[in-house]
Amino acid sequence: MRSTTTGSNIGSQVILLFKKSLSHTFNLLSVKSNALTICSTLLDQKVKIMKFDFSGLESSAPLYGLNNELLSDGFSAAPSFDLPVTSDFDDFQKNSIQMVKPAKGTTTLAFIFKDGVMVAADSRASMGGYISSQSVKKIIEINPYMLGTMAGGAADCQFWHRNLGIKCRLHELANKRRISVTGASKLLANILYSYRGMGLSVGTMIAGWDEKGPGLYYVDSEGGRLKGTKFSVGSGSPYAYGVLDSGYKYDLTIDEAAELARRAIYHATFRDGASGGVASVYHVGPNGWTKLSGDDVGELHYSYYPVEPATVEHEMTEAVVA
């Protein structure tokens, strides 16, 4: 719809109401644009007041015959569809929205400690009950000193993190200094806010080291942005929080912090069906990020809980042949 027609739209809605009071049967499921065309033609015949330019409103959809009686006087029929047969239309709307809403089936976590930021994630991608991949990279390298985590729609996260990386580089070139974690997270949050309500699904954490030291922000597709020291995102996050909160201290060494992160991811993958695969752990320090480890969670399970050899009560031996 061209912007020039919006002004006339309001006027034509008034005419529509006026016309409804005049005429008899008029199909209410018709698309507004065709209704306005009908209005204007009728108006031309009866009262010549205003001529509106509706050329921008012509719908290109094929005509569906509604009632041939209406078609007989040369008006174009409005494209329409049958409403779904359901007793509860409101729930139907809610359910259909729920169906397309992608669940954030993952576990990611990040926390700040005295030596920087520890970032960890699983690597399972699931589509409902089907595991589509066990080797997804959920920690995205935005630039050599900033990491982003992926939860929600994979495409959304990958694309917008890549886009954020571009914007950060442009900022560096324009201002001759690296962008701060605060600035980068705000850029992403503003972009996601502008697409609010349009179906993006992103639950990410931006972790980095800038002039002010380690920084960690949680940004999501609803437009929320939180600064914090400890976050976990995804369907497995409550499980990870439990392990993370009980073992966290600011004064952990790098190895202890890595083990805490790995353990938290492992416990989340153990209980949450949508998380699994490989637990990757990254560390962001003053010189940028480094990947510390990537362990299969199945192997982690047996290293944490080794199988005890079963005690044998009766040992079977060969029967002595007389």
Residues that bind another protein (CB under 8 A): 189-190, 192-193, 196, 218, 220, 222-226, 228-229, 231, 237-238, 241
- Taking the CA of residue 212 as centre, how many other CA atoms within 13 Å lie in the half-sphere pointing to its CB? 9
Task: Give DSSP secondary structure letters for 127-182.
Answer: ETTEEEES----EEEEETTEEEE--B-HHHHHHHHHHHHHHHHHHHHHHSSPPPHH
Amino acid sitting at position 18: F
Q: Which is nearer to another protein, 43 or 189 (CB)?
A: 189
Q: Which is nearer to another protein, 144 or 224 (CB)?
A: 224
**Smallest gap from residue 267 Cβ to another protein (A):** 16
**Smallest gap from residue 301 Cβ to another protein (A):** 25
**Smallest gap from residue 236 Cβ to another protein (A):** 11
Q: Which is nearer to another protein, 228 or 273 (CB)?
A: 228
Q: Which is nearer to another protein, 75 or 248 (CB)?
A: 248
* CA distance linking residue 122 with residue 134, whole number of Å: 9
- Taking the CA of residue 227 as centre, how many other CA atoms within 13 Å lie in the half-sphere pointing to its CB? 9
Is 106 tagged catalytic?
yes
**Smallest gap from residue 185 Cβ to another protein (A):** 11
Q: Whats the size of the chain, residue-wise?
A: 322
Q: Which is nearer to another protein, 53 or 222 (CB)?
A: 222
Q: Which of 106, 107, 108, 149 is catalytic?
A: 106
* CA distance linking residue 69 with residue 72, whole number of Å: 5
Tokens 């992926």 identify what position? 150
CA 227 vs CA 55, 195, 215, 240, 260: distances in Å: 50, 21, 8, 19, 21
**Smallest gap from residue 110 Cβ to another protein (A):** 12
Residues annotated as catalytic are 106
